[in-house]
Amino acid sequence: MAEYHHHDHVHLDHAPISDHGHEPRAEYRVLERAVRELLIEKGVVTAEDWRRQIELMDSRNPSMGARVIARAWVDPAFKQRLLADAKKAADELGIDTANAPRVMALENTPTRHHLVTCTLCSCYPKAILGIPPAWYKSEAYRARAVKDPRGVLKEFGTELPDNVEVRVMDSTADLRYLVVPLRPAGTDGMTEEQLADLVTRDSMIGVTAARNPTSVS
């Protein structure tokens, strides 16, 4: 913690607003390099391990989850397997979830909508959706999602009728959630690939619905 004491401009009452995309403080930039170099020199990891891990991270993105959802929309048997064991189902589509914590898929219905948060930290199904957006990790989202879910949904442009139950799911380190959004109307003739284009990251977190086919040219 010694590195931290140089900094007295960090205030308790000031939430870290949009801390992503910013370069780290100088002492943390140096600390990262020091820790990495020492771990490599001690043989705990290799430079190649580190590079590959970053490549793996870069290769993961919400389009993987979108393929899972589109398959579930067209294949009821797959959907049942997804709801029973999301990691195993993702694995069927070549998504490597071997080292990931458990993931539970939550099916939205015309009368039930799921909204996912992690009030305690930032747990997220990274193996299927990639890195979470900054707002998911923000203190405001974490604090608000469980208290004012309909207000949060509205902020994301999502207004649900009163008869739709909203279930807020609070993730844990050992259990993360993947929302299966409702298949939009007017998509009967669409291919699985076209359907996947309608499935956004935000719809799999539950802050929005899947895109309407008329919004996609």
Partner 1 sequence: MATHKHRAMHDLGGVEPTASQAIDRTEHELTQFDKSVDALVGLMAHPSRRIIRVDELRRAIESLQPVQYHGLSYYEKWLQAAHDLLLEKDILGEEEVMLRCAAIREAEEKSS
Which residues are known catalytic residues? 118, 121-123
Rounded Cα–Cα distance for residues 162 and 129 (Å): 29
**Identity of the residue, 108 or 171, whose beta carbon is nearer to partner 1 in the bound complex:** 171
Beta-carbon contacts of residue 35 (< 8 Å; ≥ 6 apart): none
**Identity of the residue, 83 or 134, whose beta carbon is nearer to partner 1 in the bound complex:** 134
Residue 167 is given by DSSP the state E
Residue 114 is given by DSSP the state E
Cβ-in-10-Å burial (0-12, 13-18, 19+) of 127 comes to buried
**Identity of the residue, 32 or 192, whose beta carbon is nearer to partner 1 in the bound complex:** 32
SS3 108: coil
Residue matched to tokens 């970053």: 54
The β-bridge relationship of strands 165-170 and 175-180 is unpaired
**Identity of the residue, 139 or 193, whose beta carbon is nearer to partner 1 in the bound complex:** 139
The nearest distance, CB 168 to partner 1, in angstroms, is 9
Rounded Cα–Cα distance for residues 29 and 79 (Å): 44
